[in-house]
Amino acid sequence: MKEIIVRSFSGLLYILLLLISFKFQIALIIVLFIFGLICMVEFNKLIQLKSRVPYIIFIVLYAIFGYWQLASNSRGLDESTQILMVLSIFVNLFLIKDLFSEKTIPLFSSKRFILTTFYISSAFVFLILIAHFHKEYNPYILLGTFVLVWTNDTFAFIIGKKFGKQKLFEKISPKKTVEGFLGGLFFSCIASYFIATFTQTLSFTSWLVLSIIISVFGTLGDLIESKFKRQANVKDSGAIMPGHGGLLDRLDSIIFAAPIIYLFLRILLYVS
């Protein structure tokens, strides 16, 4: 009972901090920056990287894109984001390939820096870009994506625990089930209708596609982080959130899905 109370309190505190930060542009940028640094620390421990270079790259990348948003200066922004998006998705595809490999994810020096840059750092850049997608600060698309992640994770856990029989990826995450995944996907699709209705940012069809993207790629992100933890022989990425583990454990889904979400939004922009 005490563990449930602690877990609920830390989870609620995390959600409240995010929700409050959405109200102010600078607050969201600062909060995501702090979250990014914490995730970088946790991820570097998992891959046993002690260099300061990843932190410098993250700070520089985040500062450049954050300044562009605050200054409403789009000069060079489109070209830079396209390059970053292509490289990030390319790295994600290799992580998916490694996930389905029986071998451990190879972590030679150059690959560690590639991962910290285009798997962790770029994800937080895309999160602030999503919040400024319409060339002005409008956090409702980003808020909606977080709600979809929370909905998917919550109902995947509930349905999986209640009805789960068929293992989804037993070698990596024994508790995840096909029934849980489908339950999370189903309720995310339902949530997309209410998000479309109340935020009035994108059409219901667009939010429905986003719910599928988040469920699929969010689950893959969770599994990929689980494989990193298995290689590091740890249960959680950290201990900053009592009852939950590390912040990376909470953000692994949206970190992996962020560049895919941004790609989908760009496609919408071009076809509309």
Residue 74 is inside which H or E element, if any?
Answer: none
Confidence tier at 135 by pLDDT (50, 70, 90):
confident
Q: Which of 8-22, 63-77, 131-145, 207-221 has the lowest mean pLDDT?
A: 63-77
- Asked if residue 166 lies in contact with residue 183, where contact means CB atoms within 8 angstroms, the answer is no
Quick check: 67 pLDDT over 90?
no
- Asked if residue 37 lies in contact with residue 58, where contact means CB atoms within 8 angstroms, the answer is yes
DSSP 241: B
Give the torsion sign (CA, 102, 104, 106, 111).
positive
Instruction: Write out pLDDT tens, residues 78-108.
Output: 788 899 999 999 999 999 998 888 766 666 6
Domain ranges of the chain: 2-271
Predicted pLDDT of residue 39: 95
State how far the Cα of 134 lies from the Cα of 52, in Å rounded to an integer: 34
Instruction: Write out pLDDT tens, residues 18-55.
Output: 989 998 889 999 999 999 999 999 999 999 888 899 99
What single-letter amino acid sits at 87? L
Share of the chain above pLDDT 70, in %: 91
- Asked if residue 117 lies in contact with residue 57, where contact means CB atoms within 8 angstroms, the answer is yes
Query: Mean per-residue pLDDT for 50-64?
Result: 93
State how far the Cα of 77 lies from the Cα of 15, in Å rounded to an integer: 30
Phi-psi sector, 233: left (phi>0), alpha (psi -120 to 50), beta: left
Query: Mean per-residue pLDDT for 222-231?
Result: 91
Q: Which residue has the tokens 């989908």?
A: 264
